[in-house]
Amino acid sequence: MKFNIIFVALIAFSTSFISCSNDDNNNVTQGTVGDVQLYFDNGVNGDALILGSTYTNSNNESLTVNRLNYIISNVVLVQADGTEYIYPKEESYFIISAEDNRLTIHLEDIPAGDYSTLKFGIGVDQQRYLQGETQQQSFWDLATQYNLTWTWSTGYRFINFEGSFTAPGLDGSKTFQVHQGSNSATDNYREVALTLPTTARVRQGDEPSIHLKTDANVLLDGQTKVKLADNLNEAQTGAAVMGGENLIHIADNSTAMFTIDHVHNGNGAHEEE
């Protein structure tokens, strides 16, 4: 009888020890939350984006980039079992700007867990826009500061990509403007879903950093090629893509603009480089 009592006690202790060990390894406590950082590392065709520098694409056009600003929205984090955490919509609109090194998004109060997929939108969705100017005045004002709006009736610029370019057959350098946004003809808001190379371990007191690479080259030089030289104005002084079929191509190309480079786990966010 004494032996049985000791044996049962040992089993209970072992079970308790294993359970505690698993808790220590996973460190996920029901109801706890943590933060997540998204870091956007802007580049052009594998090179770091340095404003004022020149890059040549497969269209044989050389672009000197002076501006790259864009809107990230509607962030969703997904665990391996498919459980989704949708970041609160009213707080889920952000601006990334190469002009003033605004490259980081901080997401707060994310339920603790191991996240394997990141989803987000490029631009402002129609549901949000149709809420009206009053409901989004603070973000509208911020977007205006970063040249990411037209008038209220024409809405947001989702991506503002500008500079100058040269191309064979053209006389000297020309300006270019690529402004992706929705219009009365088309909804150019797009969404992407990216699988993380390693899970982002959200824990209380920790802030994993998801490092994304942004390739501005794919806007014009992606799956569908868009030549700036084919979009010159009548005066032949510059090219602008702000509507029509080419803007739809650019919006579709933009979904391939983002990739996940790596994930920093643990306490301590990624430092901007």
CA 97 to chain CA centroid, Å, is: 12
> Given pLDDT bands bounded at 50, 70 and 90, which one contains residue 4?
very low
Instruction: Report which of 38, 100, 41, 98 is spatially closest to residue 70, judged by C-alpha positions.
Output: 98
Residues 66 and 94 reside in one and the same domain: yes
| Domains of the chain: total | 2
Instruction: Give yes or no: residues 2 and 62 share one domain.
Output: no
Q: Does 271 map to a domain?
A: no
Residue 173's nearest CA partner among 165, 181, 161, 163 is: 165
Q: Does residue 170 sit in the same domain as residue 213?
A: yes
Top pLDDT among 101 and 183 is at 101
Higher pLDDT, 22 or 139: 139
Whole-model pTM?
A: 0.88
- The one-character DSSP state at 153 is T
What is the domain extent for residue 235? 31-264
pLDDT averaged over every residue in the chain: 89
**Three-state DSSP class for residue 20:** helix
Q: Coil, helix or strand for 16?
A: helix
Percent of the chain past pLDDT 90, that is, above it, reads 80
Pairing verdict, β 84-86 and 54-56: unpaired
Residues 40 and 173 in one domain: yes
* Same domain, residue pair 66 and 118: yes
Span 51-65, pLDDT tens digits: 999 999 999 999 999
Considering only CA atoms, give the Rg of the chain.
Answer: 24
pLDDT of residue 270: 52
133 with 161, same domain: the answer is yes
- Show the tokens assigned to 88: 């609160």
- What's the sign of the alpha-carbon dihedral 129, 132, 133, 139? negative
